[in-house]
């Protein structure tokens, strides 16, 4: 049987994956406590950590949850990891995709395979369809516009989402994340040209060319609450490409808030 390690980040994805892998070893980057018990490791001691995984018989790894870029302490590097410093620093100074690609490369060079959420828990990634709510023609137009924006921003390696209302982009996701973007949208509801017009849509999708084994966009109950606070009509995403956590609770909150949830064909 293949032995798996979960690299747990913040949020509820790690517990959801652990429920599918009860025998997996669970680790987390020090300083970023996950919502699940985990042993910690430091990026400054990455090589000893990879050696430890090998000693434990781990053959594959799944990354589950958000991890912000840690502040590195030069004096904490062990000699072997210190040789990787230029590579690690160059990755951390790049966009998210470049940094994640470097992480995957380092793990694979240590003989570990990287598996995706879709391999472990395909039920977490909805296919095409409307999960709840009604979608107007204006909402469809705003969603199409949002999808264009996310796709166009992909080569710049920014975020994975944006908010569009009445054809205007109110906010794009950047390093602070989805919650910060939706908070900004909530504070600027008055930017809509027609106060009685379309409320707007939050759209999420992976960046073009993104390695889908790691950092897939994630939506859950809190996302619904944040979208409702921003006064939006609903949430849409690229079908088959976004993780939906706590499906029944998310749909229930969307119904209560009169928001639509749309898993849209890309």
Average pLDDT over residues 14-31: 95
Give the strand pairing for 234-238 and 218-219.
unpaired
Looking at the structure of the chain, the number of domains it has is: 2
Residue-wise pLDDT tens digits, 84-140? 878 877 777 766 667 778 888 999 999 999 999 999 999 999 999 999 999 999 999
Between 235 and 69, residue with greater pLDDT: 235
Domain of residue 13, CATH code:
3.40.50.20
Q: Is the pLDDT of residue 70 over 80?
A: no
145 and 109 fall within a common domain:
no
Give me the pLDDT at residue 84, please.
Answer: 85
Residue-wise pLDDT tens digits, 201-213? 999 999 887 888 8
- Cβ pair 71, 45 in contact under 8 A: no
209 and 97 fall within a common domain:
no
Domain end: 84, 103, 120, which one?
120
Residue-wise pLDDT tens digits, 141-168? 999 999 999 999 988 878 899 999 999 9
Give the strand pairing for 161-165 and 113-114.
unpaired
Give me the pLDDT at residue 95, please.
Answer: 64
Q: Give 53-64 as a DSSP string.
A: HHHTT--EEEEE
Residue-wise pLDDT tens digits, 167-218? 999 999 988 889 999 999 998 888 888 989 999 999 999 988 788 888 889 9
- pLDDT-wise least confident of 56-70, 109-123, 242-256: 56-70
Domain of residue 161, CATH code:
3.40.140.80
Domain end: 85, 120, 155, which one?
120
Domain of 116 in residue numbering reads as 4-120
143 and 12 fall within a common domain:
no
68 and 140 fall within a common domain:
no
109 and 197 fall within a common domain:
no
159 and 204 fall within a common domain:
yes
135 and 257 fall within a common domain:
yes
Domain end: 71, 92, 120, which one?
120
Q: Which residues pair with 61 in a beta bridge?
A: 5, 114
Give me the pLDDT at residue 74, please.
Answer: 83
111 and 23 fall within a common domain:
yes
Give me the pLDDT at residue 102, please.
Answer: 84
Write the CA distances from 138 to 7, 63, 150, 168, 197, integer angstroms: 41, 37, 18, 12, 9
C-alpha span between 77 and 139 (Å, rounded): 51
116 and 16 fall within a common domain:
yes
**Average pLDDT score over the chain:** 92
C-alpha span between 125 and 128 (Å, rounded): 10
C-alpha span between 227 and 186 (Å, rounded): 8
129 and 256 fall within a common domain:
yes
129 and 249 fall within a common domain:
yes
pTM as predicted = 0.89
109 and 152 fall within a common domain:
no
């Amino acid at each position: 049987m293949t032995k798996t390690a979960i690299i747990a980040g913040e949020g509820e994805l790690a517990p959801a994956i652990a429920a599918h892998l009860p025998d997996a070893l669970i680790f987390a980057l020090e300083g970023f406590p996950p919502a699940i018990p985990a042993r910690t490791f430091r990026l400054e001691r990455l090589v000893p950590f990879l050696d430890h995984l090998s000693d434990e018989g781990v053959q594959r790894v799944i990354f589950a949850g958000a991890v912000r870029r840690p502040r590195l302490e030069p004096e904490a590097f062990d000699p072997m990891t210190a040789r990787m410093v230029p590579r690690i620093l160059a990755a951390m100074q790049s966009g998210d995709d470049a940094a994640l690609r470097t992480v995957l490369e380092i793990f694979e060079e240590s003989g570990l395979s990287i598996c995706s959420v879709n391999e472990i828990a395909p039920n977490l990634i909805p296919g095409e369809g409307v999960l709840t709510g009604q979608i107007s023609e204006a909402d469809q137009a705003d969603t199409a516009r949002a999808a264009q924006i996310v796709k166009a921003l992909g080569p710049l390696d920014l975020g994975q989402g944006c908010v569009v209302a009445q054809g205007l982009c109110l906010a794009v996701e950047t390093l602070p994340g989805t919650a910060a973007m939706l908070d900004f949208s909530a504070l600027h509801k008055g930017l809509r040209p027609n106060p009685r017009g379309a409320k707007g849509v939050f759209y999420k999708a992976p960046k073009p060319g993104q390695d889908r084994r790691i950092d897939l966009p994630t939506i859950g109950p809190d996302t619904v609450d944040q979208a409702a606070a921003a006064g939006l009509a609903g949430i849409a995403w690229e079908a088959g490409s976004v993780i939906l956590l706590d499906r029944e609770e998310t749909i229930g909150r969307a119904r209560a808030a009169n928001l639509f949830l749309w898993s849209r064909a890309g």
